[in-house]
Structure 1
Amino acid sequence: MKYAIKIHKISTVDELENSWNIEDYKELLERFDFPNAESTDIKELRELLFMAIADFETNEAAAIVLDYKLSDHLNEGQIDSISHEMLVDKISEEYPEIELHQQLFNINQLLYKAYNGKFPNTKATIVNFDITPKANADENITKEIALKCIAKSLDSHNVVIRLFGNQLNADEAFEEANDVIWELQKNDAGYRLITSEYFMSKEEFLKQEFEANIAFFEEE
Structure 2
Amino acid sequence: MNYHIIINNVKTVDELPGSWSNQDLIELLDRFGFPDASKSNPAELRELLSMAISDFEPAEAAAIMLEYRLSDKLNEGQIDQMSHDMLLDKISEEYPVIGLHHQLFNINQLLHKAYNGKFPSAKATITEFVMSSEDPNAEAITKEVVLKAFQHTLNDSNLIKRLFSDHLEGKVKFEEADSIIWDLSDKGDNQYQLITSEYWMARDEFVEAELDAEVILFEEDENED
Q: TM-score, normalised by structure 2?
A: 0.95
> Is the counterpart of residue 2 in structure 1 residue 19 in structure 2?
no
User: Aligned-residue CA RMSD in angstroms?
Assistant: 1.1
Of the structure 1 ranges 163-172 and 35-44, higher mean CA displacement relative to structure 2 is found in 35-44
Structure-to-structure mapping, 1:21-170, within 5 angstroms: 21-39=21-39, 41-170=41-170
For 1:194 and 1:40, the matched residues in 2 are separated by 31
- Give, in angstroms, the shift of residue 66 of structure 1: 0.3
1:21 touches 1:42 (CA, 8 Å); kept in 2? no
Give the aligned residue type for 2:186.
Answer: K
Paired amino acid for 2:29: L
Identity of aligned residues (%): 55
Q: Distance in 2 between matches of 1:133 and 1:188?
A: 14
**Residue 186 of structure 1: CA displacement?**
0.8
Q: Which residue is equivalent to 1:213? A: 214
* Greater Cα offset, 137-146 or 156-165: 137-146
For the pair 1:204 / 2:205, whether they are aligned, the reply is yes
- Which has the larger displacement, 103-112 or 210-219? 210-219
> Paired residues, what number?
220
2:63 and 2:157 map into 1 onto residues whose CA distance is 34
Quick one: distance in 2 between partners of 1:19 and 1:204?
A: 26
Secondary structure at the counterpart of residue 134 of structure 1 = coil
Distance (whole Å) between structure 2 residues aligned to residue 88 and residue 39 of structure 1: 36
Instruction: Indicate if the aligned counterparts of 1:4 and 1:212 stay in contact, CA closer than 8 A.
Output: yes
Measured after TM superposition, the shift of residue 7 of structure 1 is 0.4
- The CA distance in 1 between the partners of 2:140 and 2:152, in whole Å, is 19
Preserved contact between residue 180 and residue 199 of structure 1 (Cα < 8 Å)? yes
CA contact (8 A) 1:7 1:130 kept: yes
Gapped regions of structure 1 (runs ≥ 5): none
- 1:114 counterpart letter in structure 2: A
Partner in structure 1 of residue 19 of structure 2: 19
Distance 1:187 1:56, change over 3 A: same
Q: TM-score, normalised by structure 1?
A: 0.97
Aligned-residue offset at 1:136: 3.5
Give 2:172's aligned amino acid.
Answer: E
Q: Match of 1:196, as an amino acid? A: S
Q: CA deviation at 1:163?
A: 0.8
Code of the residue aligned with 2:76 in structure 1: it is E
For 1:130, what is the secondary structure of its paired residue?
strand
Structure 2 residues without counterparts, runs of 5 or longer: none
Distance in 1 between the 2:39 and 2:212 partners? 51
Letter in 1 for 2:168: L
Deviations 1:145-190 (A, max 9, x none): 1111112100111000011111001110001000000000011461
